[in-house]
Amino acid sequence: MSDIVKVLARGIMQGTVGSPATVYTTNGSRTTLIKSLLICNPNFAPTEVVVTISNVYYMRYTLKANETIHVPIADQFLITTADAVRMGASARADYYLCGIEIDSRDNLGPYYNVKRMARTNISSTEGTIVNSSSIKRMIKNFVVCNTSSTSVTLRVNIGIVNILWDYQLKGYETLVIPSMDLILESGDSITAVNSSNSSPIAFHVTGLELV
């Protein structure tokens, strides 16, 4: 069955922070929905870890000594073999990645209408994260990663409505909003601006087309 959660990858990170190594790529005939990510620092000292998807930062984080972090309901959608998940660490770090591999040709499957709505970087100039569409959509998962070592101030809008206003992201901090369940009406788009720093902020947005 295509809707069974399975282990996509697990092991010890082989890449470095500056050069993360590929841990998972999609099968050519399937798309993948990442459901869960766990990272463990088994060291007695802090360890910095990096996770990218399609070379866009998903996480850059320093784990405390012996700390484990878990991202449930990650809901990151991988479409092509170019959508590689890469990881790296400054010292040993263990990872566990689970998800669902979906037959992209199955238009009757439960995940056929799941879409990757955004995977992009926004700098200090206002930019569009999610383009407008004639189809009503639901945002399921919203991830923002500060790729800079310095704090940034973020604003995010749907039309004229603010959903984040002057939100402070610390250096290398990632904000994950799972099960967001915000409806985008027909014609709605999502825009963002980093109002305090020219360094890019990375966005990953997954949702459903409500057809």
Domains of the chain with bracketed CATH = 6-103 (2.60.120), 114-209 (2.60.120.340)
> pLDDT tens across 57-100, in order?
999 999 999 999 998 777 888 877 778 999 999 999 999 999 99
Q: How large is the average pLDDT for residues 3-32?
A: 90
> pLDDT tens across 11-23, in order?
999 989 999 999 9
Calculate the alpha carbon distances from 206 to 17, 77, 139 in Å.
26, 7, 6
Q: How large is the average pLDDT for residues 142-156?
A: 90
Give percent of the chain above pLDDT 90. Answer: 54
Lowest mean pLDDT: which of 107-116, 162-171, 182-191, 198-207? 107-116
Top pLDDT among 2 and 200 is at 200
Q: Give the contacts of 108 (CB within 8 A, at least 6 positions apart).
A: none
- Write down the pLDDT at residue 107: 65
- Write down the pLDDT at residue 197: 66
pLDDT at residue 2 greater than cutoff 70: no
pLDDT at residue 193 greater than cutoff 90: no
> pLDDT tens across 92-141, in order?
999 999 999 887 666 666 666 778 888 988 877 778 999 999 999 999 88
- Write down the pLDDT at residue 30: 80
pLDDT mean across residues, the chain: 88
